[in-house]
Structure 1
Amino acid sequence: MAVLLGKDTRVLVQGMTGRAGTFYTDLAMRYGSTYVAGVRPGKAGTTHLDLPVFDGVREAAEATGANASLVLVPPHKAAAAMIEAIEAGIGLVVCVTERVPVHDMLRVRAALNGSETQLVGPNSQGVLAPGLCKIGVMSTADAQPGRVGIVSRSASLTSEIVAQTTAAKLGQSTTIGVGGDPIHGIGFRRCLELFKDDPATEGVILIGEIGGSEEEAAADYLASVDYGKPVVALVVGRHAPAQRRMGHAGTLAVLGGGTADAKLRRLQEAGAVIARNADEVAGLMRKALGPA
């Protein structure tokens, strides 16, 4: 099993005919994921990568049975694309677009209220269930099916930890990149809930960053339940200067809040195993899980 997606996931791509859409759709299909349609206004009735192209998401979903969407459109159009997918009743929407305006994301957040859609992103690497399905731009080079769920705000560190867990013969059940923007879809807490209920996930690796409150929300959740599975947490940015933005829009520590040490302290108090450096993560998870 996996969380969010699986063998029954049928993906449509909003923006499939563009350069990025073409490249990543082709990669995902070569990996074995089931992609069924593209959406590009004005190109209905054509085909691209041997898939039908539709003017709208609802039309595409009704014709193909798509239940997931990958949003690969420019930042100024990304919110409208996400809202269209939400209003069409798509169960999973993954947006990898960077630099979506914050005000636009407030409209997306409002559209999510009361819907059954789970949004991953924006500014996300996507979601990968090794051997089953890939939605997004995440590398599959080192991914292997396995026992560990990974949820991350950092794209580069995701690739590193996937490679580590594969080398340690742990593998991954599902890897989720929640994105680095301050306003986004599902976060650490929701991913921890999903992994808790997934029998294929025996342990969880959480990769955080300075800024925002994702890690604190995860700590509050872990402290409130008997999680029953080991959680290894890595939060990077311990040496970053305060009050200075470091890459991601959400990566900003102000007036002592959102620092790496504060986040790690909260997570440790909630029962997580703390990795001080990236190269410790897989070893700590293997030790926490015990013999296979």
Structure 2
Amino acid sequence: MAIFVDKDTNVLVQGITGKFGALQTKLMLDCGTKIVAGVTPGKGGQTQFDVPVYDSVQQAVNKHRVDASVIYVPAPFVQDAAFEAMDAEIKFTVIITDWVPLHSEMKIKAYAKGRDTRYIGPNTPGIMVPAQTSLGMISPSAVMPGSVAVISRSGTLTDEVASQLSEQGIGQSVVIGLGGDPIIGSRMIDILKLLKEDGQT
């Protein structure tokens, strides 16, 4: 398994019925991502691209095995969404949203400390394992399967570096955008330590 996620990872989308969340959900499904549930308060009982929608993360995890969550909610609600994912004991969360208030970022970081969870973002393009799964909005046309890991804090550079490698026939084991905000969930050194033990990289 690549670090964090692979083709067997069951994914929850928080904010699945919003305009941006819905668009990205469709693109992730097209990449083969196993999206098993979505959450939008007040929209429980609906479906989005045949994915069942729940009012809360806890309701979703009560019905499905969820390994990872992707957060597409508006910035003022990111803190609550992240807390909800952590309270439901989801092991890995990707916070796509940008312009998250600094104090919210600080609180999310503190809330995650000591818990059996890890997150990337906020303000990240996400994570992609080429030909397996995508959590976020890294361009599938930029990547190809291989053994080189790409890690960046810049969303634009994440795609650009992967694209340049692919053009030279150098595939990627995983492509990760850590997030461009001042306070993010995972540091470069944290990821490098995990990659050192990853047999696919």
Deviation at 1:167, TM superposition (A): 1.7
SS at match of 1:59: helix
**Residue 37 of structure 1: SS of its match in structure 2?**
strand
Report if aligned partners of 2:39, 2:55 keep a CA contact under 8 Å in 1: yes
Give the structure 1 partner of residue 93 of structure 2.
93
Q: Matched residues, percent identical?
A: 40
Q: Which runs of 5+ in 1 are unaligned?
A: 202-292
Separation in structure 2 between the aligned mates of residue 41 and residue 142 of structure 1, nearest angstrom: 34
Deviations 1:255-292 (A, max 9, x none): xxxxxxxxxxxxxxxxxxxxxxxxxxxxxxxxxxxxxx
| d(CA) in 1 for partners of 2:83, 2:107 | 8
C-alpha displacement of 1:35: 0.4
Aligned residue in 2 for 1:61: 61
Bigger Cα Rg: 1
Which stretches of structure 1, 4 residues or longer, exceed 2 Å deviation after superposition? none
Q: Which residue matches 1:285?
A: none
In the alignment, which residue of structure 1 is the partner of 2:44?
44
Do residues 140 (structure 1) and 134 (structure 2) align?
no
The answer on whether the counterparts of 1:130 and 1:144 sit within 8 Å (CA) in structure 2 is yes
The offset of 1:51, in angstroms, is: 0.9
Question: What corresponds to 1:76 in structure 2?
Answer: 76
Matched, 1:155 2:172: no
1:172-217 CA-to-partner distances (Å, cap 9, x unmatched) read: 000110011111101101110111010111xxxxxxxxxxxxxxxx
- Secondary structure at the counterpart of residue 114 of structure 1: coil
Q: Counterpart of 1:31?
A: 31
Decide whether the 8 Å contact of 1:61 with 1:67 is kept in 2.
Answer: no
Aligned to 1:141, what secondary structure does the other structure show? helix
| Aligned ranges 1:190-205 → 2 under 5 Å | 190-201=190-201
Scaled by the length of structure 2, the TM-score of the pair is 0.97
Give the conservation status (yes or no) of the 8 Å contact 2:7–2:32.
Answer: no
How many angstroms apart in 2 are the aligned matches of 1:164 and 1:66?
A: 34
Aligned partner of 1:102 in structure 2 is 102
CA positional deviation for 1:142: 2.1
For residues 65 and 197 of structure 2, what CA distance do their matches in structure 1 show? 26
Structure-1 residue corresponding to 2:116? 116
Structure-1 residue corresponding to 2:3: 3
Once residues 41 and 159 of structure 1 are traced to their aligned partners in structure 2, the CA distance between those partners, rounded to angstroms, is: 32
SS at match of 2:140: coil
Work out the CA distance in 2 between the residues paired with 1:40 and 1:53.
Answer: 7
User: Match for 1:175: what amino acid?
Assistant: V
> How high is the TM-score relative to the length of structure 1?
0.67
Partner AA of 1:171 in structure 2: G
* Matched AA of 1:132: Q
Q: 2:43, 2:115 → 1: CA distance?
A: 28
Match of 2:167 in 1: 167
**Which residue identity lines up with residue 15 of structure 2 in the other structure?**
G
Report 1 or 2 for greater relative contact order, CA contacts < 8 Å, sequence distance ≥ 6. 2
Q: What is the rounded CA distance, in whole Å, between the counterparts of 1:144 and 1:155 in structure 2? A: 17
Task: Give how far 1:114 is off.
Answer: 1.4
Aligned pairs for 1:214-229 (under 5 A) are none
Ranges in structure 2 where 5+ consecutive residues have no aligned partner: none
Task: Using the TM superposition, give the Cα deviation of residue 77 of structure 1 relative to its aligned residue in structure 2, in angstroms.
Answer: 0.4
SS of equivalent to 1:52: strand
| Number of residue pairs the alignment of both structures matches | 201
| Distance in 2, Cα, partners of 1:30 & 1:147 | 23
What is the RMSD of the two structures over their aligned residues, measured on CA atoms? Answer: 0.9
